Structure 1
């Protein structure tokens, strides 16, 4: 089937516009087996979940069912998808229209993504010095706590006698945490009491610790941490 026709069909089934706007496809190839259709906002890619000899998945979520997922484009348009996921390994969002038909989006055009109740924005990664997607765990006018999802490839064991692999390589998802007070500069942190207290105004530590104690909150719990930072924002 002509891939451009598949794209149009996918739009009608999986793609709901929040405003009367469209993402135009500027180049369509007639051969469906070809991997690319370029557009202003994305290209067609291979389904990476079918990678052979590598256990695990590069995707953040086990299911592609995302009926409430929205991508907000920088020109103020937003789009809703039924089948959206985040490719942690490639650091990009992808929409799956069929098993072998996946559209990936140009991150430079994206302002934010809301997927499965989580909000993602691009920040400058201090480790690699490139813009990457971070999950916003808690956001206030004073400080924001972010989570970076990453993939590590763990090599499979090798038989010391035959020197042949006896286990497949495996993708393992990891997480790193950061905070920012200006929405630009990120500093790595941990979700524990000492790290969170180091990231805030020293003059407000005692009041914050008392609030956490009085309300039996846990710094490592994301929902509790949101309450902690919301209170900190009032000090």
Structure 2
């Protein structure tokens, strides 16, 4: 009798362990949720330009919605569909559900992205203080036809916007001191006094925001 009870208990533990592992696997690595098949890049055939933020597959770090961390060896961010993809066994999959945070380990740079729960979009984190500067890179596939030509050319077009996140409120902002001072009136004098160098404009304003902390 004791052996039967012990065997039943061990079987119960084994079934639960399998269920937990399957649940984790489904959370971390689910193919296309609609078809149940791996994603393909067919939509980008014969397109000029890249739909990805970085065209190469990169090492990364991903924080799932449940707080657990995974470190895939091949991920890339699709800036057209706003999806984080990973490669496994030569196939492409989408992370689903969408992850809370992910990092791309690009050459000489680590780029961090957060999800905005209100609009379910990913934003790049440029400064990580009380005042956060966020960047949204959105790409679209445009179709254009030359004059008197029947040939349709598909090209990738890129649009970049910046946002300030303070006290859980996210507002779009232009990268100039006047716009920042209007959005952050308590820091107007510091913003006005800050000297913008002749370097990369984005880096100038990253340093400006950091100086306000």
| Same structural fold, with TM-score higher than 0.5 when normalized by the shorter chain | yes
Distance 2:66 2:128 in 1: 23
Unmatched tracts of structure 2, length 5 or more: 1-19, 32-36
- How big is the shift at 1:87? 0.9
- Counterpart in the other structure of 2:162: 177
Distance 2:178 2:68 in 1: 41
**1:152 aligned onto 2:137:** no
Higher normalized strand content (fraction of residues): 1
TM-score scaled by structure 2? 0.73
What's the Cα RMSD here?
2.7
- How big is the shift at 1:75? 2.5
TM-score scaled by structure 1? 0.67
Larger Rg: 2
The CA deviation string for residues 35-58 of structure 1, in whole angstroms up to 9 with x for no partner, is xxx922321533326732332222
CA, structure 1 residues 82+164, in 2 after alignment: closer, same or farther (shift >3 Å)? same
Distance 2:212 2:165 in 1: 14
Distance 1:119 1:107 in 2: 18
Pairing 1:109-188 to 2, within 5 Å after superposition? 110-116=99-105, 117-123=110-116, 130-141=119-130, 143-160=131-148, 164-165=150-151, 167-183=152-168, 185-188=169-172
Distance 1:56 1:199 in 2: 35
- Counterpart in the other structure of 2:80: 89
Unmatched tracts of structure 1, length 5 or more: 1-22, 27-37
Please identify runs of 4+ aligned residues in structure 1 that moved more than 6 A. none
Distance 2:127 2:143 in 1: 35
- Counterpart in the other structure of 1:16: none
The CA deviation string for residues 9-45 of structure 1, in whole angstroms up to 9 with x for no partner, is xxxxxxxxxxxxxx9456xxxxxxxxxxx92232153
Maintained 8 Å contact 1:177/1:189: yes
- Counterpart in the other structure of 1:209: 192
- How big is the shift at 1:79? 0.9
Distance 1:195 1:52 in 2: 40
- Counterpart in the other structure of 1:197: 181
The CA deviation string for residues 128-176 of structure 1, in whole angstroms up to 9 with x for no partner, is xx310011112321x211111211222222442xx512x5211222211
Higher normalized helix content (fraction of residues): 2
CA, structure 1 residues 139+88, in 2 after alignment: closer, same or farther (shift >3 Å)? same
